[in-house]
């Protein structure tokens, strides 16, 4: 599953949000791989299409796509130098696919701010600086190693060295790796370094309940910054989410409506993370279960099948495919087949968002 690391300065609302996430996940937990570490919360990605498929296929179980949120507490100024167990936290971030950066956008005299005042941009820069410093260390080590190969006349090494020099300048200017333009040849070099600032970022602007759903002046600052660096923003209220997480589905709907909010912040966080990473969903549906599978946009049918099981990819023959819209409109698989809209797709088929698929494979 997709892994999103939750970072942010102390006292911005990370634990409150994480606990709400975990609770929400635990509730939706008839989920096969739910035995997880204490700092990991599994959250389903809401998708009304899946409920409809389950209804039409008479599925006994509904299994949504999920996102794992990892609580990476303890990231403070000085972390890149190993302060406050800093290095270990940075190592945890390295294993994630994206970062959810919780930013304090609420005023509350009772909650101490580590820097003495509410200032989301300064806070973002404090965290980002630690990540940048760590990346600079990574890149400069790599440069030293590559420099040796350049001396032996290695052409590929020369190309890499030039790129690393450009990357180091970029980071040195205080700019995250994700904003550096890279060529097709350079992309794999960048990827191989697993840089912290190369990861997509989603800012979770934490506001008081009264500032839902649109935010406040602090959130505007975060939005402006996010836009400049290609990041996403979700306005959440950690305290509000903590309350919502304790309710059952029916109470939840009423509670959200009373607050003038359409979806919980956690749902939006999950959806935004999904979009930010360019993920799409295909479905499988039968009497046993209706299930959503997350894949990267552009994946071909065999790889998509491989997400279910490697045997499906190795032995792939064909994929019987129905668009969700057709499945929905016609009222199920056999009706779709009768109407001639079930297509038999081969190895080169690029899976589309919402495809309902049945794989044929050799064992």
CB of 78 to ligand GDP, least distance (A): 17
Other C-beta atoms closer than 10 Å to the C-beta of 155 total 9
244 binds ligand GDP (CB under 6 A): no
Closer residue to ligand GDP in complex, CB, 210/278: 210
Contact criterion met (CB below 8 Å) for 116 and 109: no
Closer residue to ligand GDP in complex, CB, 80/206: 206
Pairing of strands 355-361, 316-323: antiparallel
CB of 72 to ligand GDP, least distance (A): 11
91 binds ligand GDP (CB under 6 A): no
Sequence-ordered list of residues with C-beta below 8 angstroms from that of 178, at least 6 positions apart, any chain: 197, 198, 199, 200, 201, 229, 230
| Residue of 106, 163, 324, 349 that binds ligand GDP (CB under 6 A) | 106
Query: CA Rg, the chain, in Å?
Result: 23
Closer residue to ligand GDP in complex, CB, 34/111: 111
Ranges within 8-37 binding ligand GDP (CB under 6 A)? 8, 10-16
> Binding residue per annotation — 206?
no
126 binds ligand GDP (CB under 6 A): no
Closer residue to ligand GDP in complex, CB, 20/67: 20
Task: For 261, list phi and psi in degrees, rounded to 5.
Answer: -115, 135
Distance of alpha carbon 119 from alpha carbon 141, whole angstroms: 34
C-alpha 67, offset from chain centre: 7
> Binding residue per annotation — 236?
no
Whether the link from the prior residue into 213 is cis, omega within 30° of 0, is: yes
Closer residue to ligand GDP in complex, CB, 14/142: 14
Distance of alpha carbon 20 from alpha carbon 77, whole angstroms: 26
Site map for ligand GDP, 187-226, x if CB under 6 A? -------------------x-x------------------
# residues near ligand GDP by CB under 6 A:
17
Ranges within 253-292 binding ligand GDP (CB under 6 A)? none
Closer residue to ligand GDP in complex, CB, 75/90: 75
Distance of alpha carbon 232 from alpha carbon 6, whole angstroms: 14
Sequence-ordered list of residues with C-beta below 8 angstroms from that of 88, at least 6 positions apart, any chain: none
Provide the sign of the torsion angle of the four alpha carbons 336, 332, 359, 270, taken in this order.
Answer: positive
CB of 26 to ligand GDP, least distance (A): 18
Closer residue to ligand GDP in complex, CB, 47/71: 71
> Binding residue per annotation — 11?
yes
2 binds ligand GDP (CB under 6 A): no
3-state secondary structure 294-313: EEECCCEHHHHHHCCCHHHH
120 binds ligand GDP (CB under 6 A): no
Positions that interact with ligand GDP (CB under 6 A): 8, 10-16, 73, 106, 108, 111, 206, 208, 237-239
User: Which parts are annotated binding residues for ATP?
Assistant: 11-16
User: Which parts are annotated binding residues?
Assistant: 11-16
């Amino acid at each position: 599953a997709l892994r999103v690391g939750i970072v942010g300065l102390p006292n911005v609302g990370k634990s409150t949000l994480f606990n709400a996430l975990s609770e929400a996940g635990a509730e939706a937990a008839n989920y096969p791989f739910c035995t997880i570490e204490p700092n990991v919360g599994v959250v389903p990605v809401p998708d009304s299409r899946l409920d409809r498929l389950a209804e039409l296929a008479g599925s006994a179980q509904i299994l949504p796509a999920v996102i794992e949120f990892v609580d990476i507490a303890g990231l403070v100024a000085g972390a890149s130098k190993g302060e406050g167990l800093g290095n270990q936290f940075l190592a945890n971030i390295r294993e994630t696919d994206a970062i959810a950066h919780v930013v304090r956008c609420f005023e509350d005299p009772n909650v101490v701010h580590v820097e003495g005042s509410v200032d989301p941009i300064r806070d973002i820069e404090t965290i980002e600086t630690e990540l940048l410093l760590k990346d600079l260390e990574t890149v400069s080590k790599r440069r030293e190693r590559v420099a040796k190969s350049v001396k032996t006349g290695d052409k590929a090494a020369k190309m890499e060295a030039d790129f690393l020099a450009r990357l180091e300048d970029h980071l040195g200017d205080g700019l995250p790796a994700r904003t550096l333009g890279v060529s097709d040849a350079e992309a794999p070099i960048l990827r191989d370094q697993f840089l912290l600032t190369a990861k997509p970022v989603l800012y979770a602007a934490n506001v008081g309940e009264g500032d839902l759903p649109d935010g406040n002046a602090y959130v505007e600052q975060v939005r402006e910054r996010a836009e400049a660096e290609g990041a996403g923003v979700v306005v959440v209220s950690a305290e509000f989410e903590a309350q919502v997480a304790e309710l059952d589905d029916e109470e939840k709907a009423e509670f959200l409506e009373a607050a003038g909010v359409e979806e919980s912040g956690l749902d939006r966080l999950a959806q935004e993370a999904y979009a930010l990473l360019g993920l799409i969903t295909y479905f499988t549906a039968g009497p046993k279960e209706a299930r959503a599978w997350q894949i990267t946009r552009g994946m071909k049918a065999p790889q998509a099948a491989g997400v279910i099981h490697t045997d499906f990819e190795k032995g792939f023959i064909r994929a019987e495919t129905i668009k969700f819209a057709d499945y929905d409109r016609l009222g199920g698989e056999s009706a779709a087949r009768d109407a001639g809209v079930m297509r038999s797709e081969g190895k080169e088929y690029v899976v589309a968002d919402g495809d309902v698929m049945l794989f044929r494979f050799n064992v």
